[in-house]
Structure 1
Amino acid sequence: MSSAVPHPRPGPVPTPPGGHALRIDARVVRRPVHTLPVVEETSAGGLVVARDAGTAHAAVIARRNRAGRLEWCLPKGHLEGTETPAEAAVREIAEETGILGQVVRRLGTIDYWFTGEDRRVHKVVHHFLLEATGGVLSVEGDPDQEAEDVAWVALCDLPDRLAYPNERRLAQAASAVLAGEAE
């Protein structure tokens, strides 16, 4: 003989205070939630470094974020035409900082999502370490006029200056490369 206590059948969902009872009708066809189209974007940029009295400095830019706040970040931008990520990094850094550079090595890739008014964007940004070969620090050459300011910042000070954690990690990787700690 079983000593199990029979469970009562569930009754109707009680009405919440001030509300209506929950009614779900399986016969009602629900409209699908409108999803935004997904767009893939690829950009490139990185750290262009110059040494002054043995201290490595990187050219960084200040630009407005979507909320209108000024943030310091690494120069970067979209690939154009048949450019490789390394070619785009050299061009974008020169346009946004005025500094010409030569690629030393790849530093890493940052991959993130954001939503615009009419689309979701999956963005992949390739970052490189560049050695400065010439130019004058200036935002005057930025065709998009996104960069509002530009500065040389000692690599050891970048964690306090850069707005984004992923870019701070790239700066640490660049410091390790320049110190001979990374391959």
Structure 2
Amino acid sequence: MAHPVPSAPKRTPLPSAIGAHIAPGGHHQVSALPTVEEISAGGVVVDKADDELRVAIIARLNRGGRLEWCLPKGHPENQENHEQAAVREIEEETGIRGQVLAPLGSIDYWFTVSGHRVHKTVHHYLLRAIGGYLTIENDPDHEAVDVAWVKLADLPKRLSFPNERRIADLAKDILPADF
């Protein structure tokens, strides 16, 4: 079944004046930053407890040291497809095993790090929790500093990024009625 892809804010690439300098004679020379393409997969893993739907999310520290709550995600490994990577990454970062129910679409954004620009695309899925328990102890990258169950209705207020809030809203809209 096809689902709409939520619109993500388009980030404007760095203007050509950044990294430019004035050469003799008044001409601009641009030393463009190299661009790296990155792919990740993750999503919204939902569990029903005490007749309430809840979602496992993680907290990470950003480069400035600020805590950000986000959906679990990570890079595919070896020959994994996006769904397989989403299931593995969610379990590694939250401790919760999930079963994919539906794709939720993809978001993309740009950022600069270590002298290069990164164009990142993240593929999101809706998953049903089928086992495990909340923990960050199994995260091999140690990116997650905390993990929490959040009521599905409260998820948009807890997530730090607007594009992930749109993914959460889409998950609410397509959850099976008998979940």
Q: Same fold (TM over 0.5)?
A: yes
Matching residue of 1:122: 119
Which one-letter code corresponds to 2:156 in the other structure?
A: P
Q: CA deviation at 1:91?
A: 0.3
Looking at structure 2, the residues matched to 44 and 164 of structure 1 have their Cα atoms a distance apart, in angstroms, of 16
Matching residue of 2:132: 135
Match of 2:159 among 139, 147, 162: 162
SS at match of 1:28: coil
Number of paired residues?
154
Matching residue of 1:44: 41
- Taking CA–CA contacts closer than 8 Å with sequence separation of 6 or more, which of the two structures ends up with the larger relative contact order? 2
Q: CA deviation at 1:31?
A: 5.3
SS at match of 1:46: strand
Q: CA deviation at 1:57?
A: 0.4
Looking at structure 2, the residues matched to 65 and 163 of structure 1 have their Cα atoms a distance apart, in angstroms, of 11
Q: CA deviation at 1:53?
A: 2.4
Looking at structure 2, the residues matched to 169 and 29 of structure 1 have their Cα atoms a distance apart, in angstroms, of 46
Matching residue of 1:106: 103
Match of 1:60 among 57, 67, 83: 57
Q: CA deviation at 1:164?
A: 0.3
SS at match of 1:67: coil
Q: Decide which structure has the larger Cα Rg and report it.
A: 1
Match of 1:172 among 159, 169, 172: 169
Q: CA deviation at 1:52?
A: 1.1
Residue-by-residue CA offset, 1:153-178 (whole Å, 9 max, x unaligned): 01100111000011111111111112
Matching residue of 1:84: 81
Looking at structure 2, the residues matched to 42 and 107 of structure 1 have their Cα atoms a distance apart, in angstroms, of 15
Q: CA deviation at 1:28?
A: 2.8
2:145 aligned with 1:148: yes
Measured on the aligned residues, the alpha-carbon RMSD in Å equals 1.4
Which one-letter code corresponds to 1:173 in the other structure?
A: L
4+ residue segments displaced more than 3 Å: none
Q: CA deviation at 1:104?
A: 0.3
Which one-letter code corresponds to 1:28 in the other structure?
A: G
Which one-letter code corresponds to 2:108 in the other structure?
A: D
SS at match of 2:120: strand
Residue-by-residue CA offset, 1:115-146 (whole Å, 9 max, x unaligned): 11211000000000000010011000000000
When the two structures are superposed, what TM-score results if normalisation uses the length of structure 1? 0.81
In structure 1, the gaps of 5 or more residues are 1-26
